[in-house]
Amino acid sequence: KAGVTQTPRYLIKTRGQQVTLSCSPISGHRSVSWYQQTPGQGLQFLFEYFSETQRNKGNFPGRFSGRQFSNSRSEMNVSTLELGDSALYLCASRGRLNTEAFFGQGTRLTVV
C-alpha cells in the first residue's frame, strides 16, 4: 500500500509570491490534515479536510488555505509569502476508523 505522497519535496519562492503544495493520501483514507514544522514552533496544525470539507482549522492567518478533491487528494496554498513561512510542510492522512495519522515526507519551502 503506497504511503502519503507530497509534491514537490523542495521549493524556493520569493517573498510576495504564492505557492501550492500537493498531497495524495493513503488509498482509502478520507481525512487529510496539514502541519507546519519550524525549528522554533515545532509541529503546528494548519487544517484538516474530510470528504472535501474543512473540519478543523489551526491558528494561522487567512493567507494559508487548502482544499480537498473528490479523490481525497489535497492542496495547500499560501499567498503573499513571507520569510517566516519558510518551513517543512507536512501532510497526514487518516482512515475513517483509525485515529493514527500517517505522514508524508513533507515539502521543504524556502522563502527568500
Partner 1 sequence: DQQVKQNSPSLSVQEGRISILNCDYTNSMFDYFLWYKKYPAEGPTFLISISSIKDKNEDGRFTVFLNKSAKHLSLHIVPSQPGDSAVYFCAASAGSGGGADGLTFGKGTHLIIQP
Applying CB under 8 A, among 17, 43, 69, 110 the residue interacting with partner 1 is 43
Q: Can you read off the three cell numbers belonging to residue 75?
A: 492542496
Identity of the amino acid at 42: G
Is there binding between residue 26 and partner 1 (CB under 8 A)? no
Distance CA 59, CA 24 (A): 24
Distance CA 103, CA 105 (A): 7
Region near partner 1 per CB under 8 A, out of 13-21, 37-45, 65-73, 78-86 = 37-45
Applying CB under 8 A, among 24, 25, 48, 72 the residue interacting with partner 1 is 48
CB 16 → partner 1: shortest distance, Å?
A: 27
Write down how long the chain is: 112
Is 77 or 80 the residue whose CB approaches partner 1 more closely? Answer: 77
On whether the CB atoms of residues 67 and 74 are closer than 8 A, the answer is: yes
Is there binding between residue 24 and partner 1 (CB under 8 A)? no
